[in-house]
Structure 1
């Protein structure tokens, strides 16, 4: 018998709406079960070749997945409804944009060294999906760091000198070598991989199996 908290590794990208939904579902399940846990966030880039200026999401989805405008609208409506259930607001304006997230992952790595990665991750999700802020802009990233109480000037220095670039690349490589090809990907107890947003009930069932 062990009193160790259940380790939960979440591989995700700030651009991934299902990562927000999946995390919020998991969070609800953790609340319902009361399982002691420790969450670790890890980097994944959905679009590592995304240019600095980003791309309109509707254009991006059509190009990458071949979705029709109707399919894309239906998907957004589904995500909005799920977000409402989970108390998270998605704001899909007509020029909602996808961004390159390499710098966001570097900022998250830095925040992790200060034990603030989880808080920054949530702030970035809200900044992107609710507030439609430009996460391609380092000044915006620095502002978000400052808004949660991190040192804005140090955040700027981290992005200016790219001191964590290699660490982020190494972490991304590690997870792709483990077979992670899409996100969200959740690894429970370093052994059990669950992909996609599974729903609160399924996460409750998983948690009860792993932490009876």
Structure 2
């Protein structure tokens, strides 16, 4: 047990389950009244690291990668939409939604961490993508979202052309993969105890209670 706890959330901004998991974790933190004892840091994971800059229509992608039919995908997205609504979030899985490359977003999240705005930017990008039909692999859109959370957008966007910054994200991704992360969300409590998947509020409360000695 400890006075404070750091939670590393390994996730991707285009992972709907990551958003659901975070919302439930935050609900657990709020219900326990331990906001001042918890530090959250987002860690990079790319669900589609080989995705082209053009992206790929979700139906086509799921059919190609998983052999899923349109009906399969519709059932999955309807379920996610329901779960999102339960957490106060709107998932808009419109017909033309694309699977995109998210590496630029991860570089910008690393930048935002320096200013204590990592969670704010993460949530803004997820909302932009899933609720507002925005392509968050587009630099113009990323620029606007950076401004929305109060970051220096021009400075941040320059980071995308910095080879060292890109290499750093790739190195961090490998670090979490080497720790056994194969799917997200994966949450590490004080770098030790880990939970994979979007768990229930009660599960997160149990872990927090144990780790904080409540």
> TM-score, structure 1 length as denominator?
0.94
Tell me by how many angstroms 1:75 deviates.
1.1
Which deviates more, 200-209 or 175-184? 200-209
Q: CA deviation at 1:133?
A: 0.5
Shift of 1:193: 1.0
Q: Which residue is equivalent to 1:25?
A: 24
SS class of match (1:87): coil
1:12-161 aligned at under 5 Å gives the runs 12-35=11-34, 36-161=37-162
Alpha-carbon contact 1:138-1:159 (below 8 Å) kept: no
Structure 2 unpaired stretches of 5+ = none
- Change in 2 beyond 3 A, CA 1:7/1:80: same
How many Å separate the matches in 2 of 1:44 and 1:2? 28
* Mean CA deviation greater in 183-192 or 202-211: 202-211
How much has 1:160 moved relative to structure 2?
3.2
C-alpha contact (below 8 Å) 2:2/2:211 kept by paired residues: no
**CA distance, structure 1, for counterparts of residue 210 and residue 75 of structure 2:** 34
Question: Is residue 110–residue 164 contact of structure 1 (8 Å, CA) maintained in 2?
Answer: no
On the 8 A contact 2:108/2:157 being kept in 1, the answer is no
Q: Structure 1 residues 193 and 2, CA, compared in 2 at 3 Å: closer, same or farther?
A: closer
Q: Could you tell me how far 1:34 is from its partner in structure 2? A: 1.8
- Between 1:195-204 and 1:87-96, the stretch displaced more is 195-204
Shift in Å, 1:13: 0.5
Query: In structure 2, how many angstroms separate the alpha carbons of the residues matched to 1:114 and 1:205?
Result: 31
Instruction: Report Cα offsets for 1:12-47 as digits up to 9, x if no partner.
Output: 001100000110011111111123211111000111
Question: 5+ residue gaps in structure 1?
Answer: none
Aligned residues: CA RMSD: 1.4
Question: Shift in Å at residue 67 of structure 1?
Answer: 2.0
